């Protein structure tokens, strides 16, 4: 599954981060393929300058629109979480992260 | 030390306000912040931001701050980080954590030891609580060689009136942060926490603990949450209650979550919510959590001219992270390189950064 996800991803986040003409929100959207249709696969880190230029030009307009409405609060220390109900449903079992915990001494016995 | 030859670095908006000031202070590069809430009904700097600037002025020597008439433009020319003993009265619009957090970036590089007493609110929904700073942030500093650092809670002060007192002492003055190499995700060995209350029935604390333990019962490691009930003069001016949970990992790393209760909240739900947040944070983090990441990245950037590496989770790459890296690049001119780990079963990245070779202006390196 991971291999498929990686194949679909077109953008290298390392490059996207430092593209000043793309807003931070757009960076994340592109990287997660939320606004890009890609059926052909292929690697993200294409060095084809024409392709990059194409997207850059397209971004200039979109980033101008998205920049003024920065809704995220960068000063907030506490990260954003889903609602209580969603979290309760997700974490009804801790199997997802079970491998992150050391087994208790009692359990080992 | 202020580098008068450096051109002003210009930023727009109020976002990342504290971090930009901190980065400018560490680098000695003057900055200009423009269009601070220029489109708001109440334009310009907020009272807590002005209070923060006063604090910066206090702990540095030779800094100059120019604020425009409307408060929408600010020019900050940093001086040297001086430290010393002061008391800072925080406004009730922000908790003491808002002011303490940036001090952790500056204190290890000062001329004199930091001994700051902060007065005000000690808990809030958005900013770092004192327990999180104490148990979650100070261990990160330790990883970079800042070992003698303590945060003492003298009084707790819940919102809205506060009345708390917290004493930050940083005795460890270092020349340079140690280079970081953390390429693994350590195993969590235990979960501990503290549930506190001020000016309310102590039974709320036990109910919060029950709520959290119910969620965490299946994790398979020790869960130990202590009750911390504050009474009398030391419990501030307002009733309040909350819980902080900490997942302790091998190699002394830790992840945390915190929740505070409001009027009408059910204590068991607040305990459970904190536990869910902790589990969510564990699933979205590696050795370091989202709240700790900026501190770690900044210390890696200002480290000696060596390559530092830190494993980060895919989910930690968000808008905040991008803004952080962009601000770092604008001031220090250095980039963080992100490379996927060599493990097909993992989405993690290795953040690699070459330190800029920052040295504490007050310390000579042999």
Report the complex ipTM.
0.87
Q: B263 and B230 in contact (C-beta within 8 Å)?
A: no
- Nearest-neighbour CA in chain A from B266: distance (Å): 13
**A68: chain B residues, CB-CB within 8 Å:** 39
Which residues of A sit within 8 Å Cβ distance of B?
2-3, 5-6, 13-14, 17-18, 20, 24-25, 27-28, 31, 68, 70, 72-79, 81-82, 84, 87-88, 90-91, 93-94, 96-98, 100-104, 107
**A1: chain B residues, CB-CB within 8 Å:** none
| Cβ–Cβ below 8 Å for A75 and B13 | no
pLDDT range class, residue B359, cuts 50, 70, 90 = confident
Write b or e for each residue in B162-195: b if 16 or more Cβ atoms lie within 10 A of its Cβ, otherwise e: bbbbbebbbebbbbbbbbbebeebbebebbbbbb
Residue A55 falls inside a structural domain: yes
- Nearest-neighbour CA in chain A from B45: distance (Å): 14
The correct answer on CATH 3.65.10.20 for the domain covering B9-180 is: yes
Structurally, chain A folds into a number of domains equal to 1
Tell me what pLDDT residue B108 has.
Answer: 95
Burial class (CB in 10 A: 0-12, 13-18, 19+), B300: buried
Residue A30 falls inside a structural domain: yes
**B290: chain A residues, CB-CB within 8 Å:** 79
Q: Which residue of B has its CA nearest to A12?
A: B338
- Average pLDDT value over all residues in chain B: 94
For the segment B284-343, what is each residue's pLDDT rounded down to a tens digit? 999 999 999 999 999 999 998 899 999 999 999 999 999 999 999 999 999 999 999 998
Distance CA B112, CA A18 (A): 37
The two structure tokens encoding residue B197 = 């209350």
Please, where are the H alpha helices in B121-168?
Answer: 130-132, 138-143
Residue A89 falls inside a structural domain: no
Q: Which phi and psi angles does B212 have, rounded to 5°?
A: -70, -40
Q: Write out the residue range of the structural domain in which residue A44 sits.
A: 2-66
Residue A37 falls inside a structural domain: yes
| Cβ–Cβ below 8 Å for A13 and B127 | no
Under 8 Å CB-to-CB from A23, ≥6 apart: which residues? A62, A63, A66, A67
State yes or no: pLDDT of A39 exceeds 50: no
Fold of B188-283: Dihydrodipicolinate Reductase; domain 2 (3.30.360)
For the segment B39-92, what is each residue's pLDDT rounded down to a tens digit? 999 999 999 999 999 999 999 999 999 999 999 999 999 999 999 999 999 999
Residue A76 falls inside a structural domain: no
Q: Are strands B222-230 and B9-12 parallel, antiparallel or unpaired?
A: unpaired
**B17: chain A residues, CB-CB within 8 Å:** 75
Tell me what pLDDT residue A75 has.
Answer: 80
Residue A19 falls inside a structural domain: yes
- CB count within 10 Å of CB B89 equals 12
Residue A100 falls inside a structural domain: no
**A76: chain B residues, CB-CB within 8 Å:** 126-127
Question: What is the maximal distance between C-alpha atoms in chain A?
Answer: 63
| Cβ–Cβ below 8 Å for A102 and B189 | yes
Distance CA B306, CA B156 (A): 42
């Amino acid at each position: 599954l991971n291999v498929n996800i990686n194949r679909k991803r077109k953008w290298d986040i390392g490059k996207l981060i430092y593209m000043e003409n793309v807003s931070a929100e757009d960076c994340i959207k592109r990287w997660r393929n939320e606004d890009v249709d890609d059926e052909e696969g292929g690697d993200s880190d294409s060095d084809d300058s024409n392709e990059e230029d194409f997207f850059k030009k397209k971004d200039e307009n979109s980033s101008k629109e998205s920049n003024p409405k920065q809704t995220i609060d960068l000063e907030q220390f506490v990260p954003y979480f889903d609602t209580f109900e969603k979290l309760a449903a997700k974490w009804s079992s801790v199997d997802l992260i079970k491998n992150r915990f050391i087994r208790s001494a009692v359990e080992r016995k | 030390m202020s580098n008068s030859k450096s051109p002003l670095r210009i930023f727009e908006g109020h976002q990342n306000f504290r971090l930009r000031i901190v980065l400018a202070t560490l680098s000695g590069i003057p900055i200009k912040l423009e269009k601070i809430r220029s489109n708001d009904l109440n334009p310009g700097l907020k009272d807590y931001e002005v209070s923060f600037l006063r604090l910066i002025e206090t702990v540095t020597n030779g800094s100059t701050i120019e604020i425009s008439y409307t408060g929408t433009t600010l020019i900050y020319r940093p001086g040297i980080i001086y430290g010393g003993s002061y008391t800072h009265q925080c406004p009730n619009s922000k908790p003491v954590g808002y002011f303490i957090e940036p001090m952790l970036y500056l204190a290890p590089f000062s001329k004199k030891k930091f001994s700051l007493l902060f007065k005000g609110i000690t808990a809030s929904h958005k900013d770092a609580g004192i327990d999180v700073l104490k148990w979650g942030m100070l261990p990160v500093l330790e990883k970079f060689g800042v070992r003698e650092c303590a945060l003492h809670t003298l009084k707790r002060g819940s919102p809205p009136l506060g009345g708390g007192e917290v004493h930050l002492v940083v005795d460890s003055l270092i020349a340079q942060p140690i280079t970081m190499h953390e390429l693994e995700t350590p195993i969590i060995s235990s979960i501990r926490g503290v549930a506190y209350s001020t000016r309310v029935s102590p039974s709320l604390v036990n109910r919060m603990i029950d709520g959290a333990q119910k969620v965490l019962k299946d994790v398979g490691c020790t869960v130990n949450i202590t009750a911390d009930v504050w009474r009398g003069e030391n419990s501030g001016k307002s009733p309040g209650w909350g819980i902080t949970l900490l997942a302790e990992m091998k190699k002394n790393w830790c992840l945390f979550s915190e929740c505070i209760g409001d009027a009408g909240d059910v204590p068991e739900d607040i305990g459970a919510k904190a536990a869910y947040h902790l589990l969510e944070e564990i699933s979205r983090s590696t050795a370091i959590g989202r709240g700790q990441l900026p501190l770690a990245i900044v210390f890696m950037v200002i480290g000696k001219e060596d390559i530092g590496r830190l494993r980060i989770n895919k989910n930690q790459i968000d808008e905040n992270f991008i803004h952080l890296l962009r601000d770092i690049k604008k001031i220090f001119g250095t980039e963080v390189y992100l490379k996927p780990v060599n493990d097909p079963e993992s989405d993690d990245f290795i953040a690699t950064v070459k330190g800029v070779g920052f040295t504490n202006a007050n310390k000579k390196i042999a």
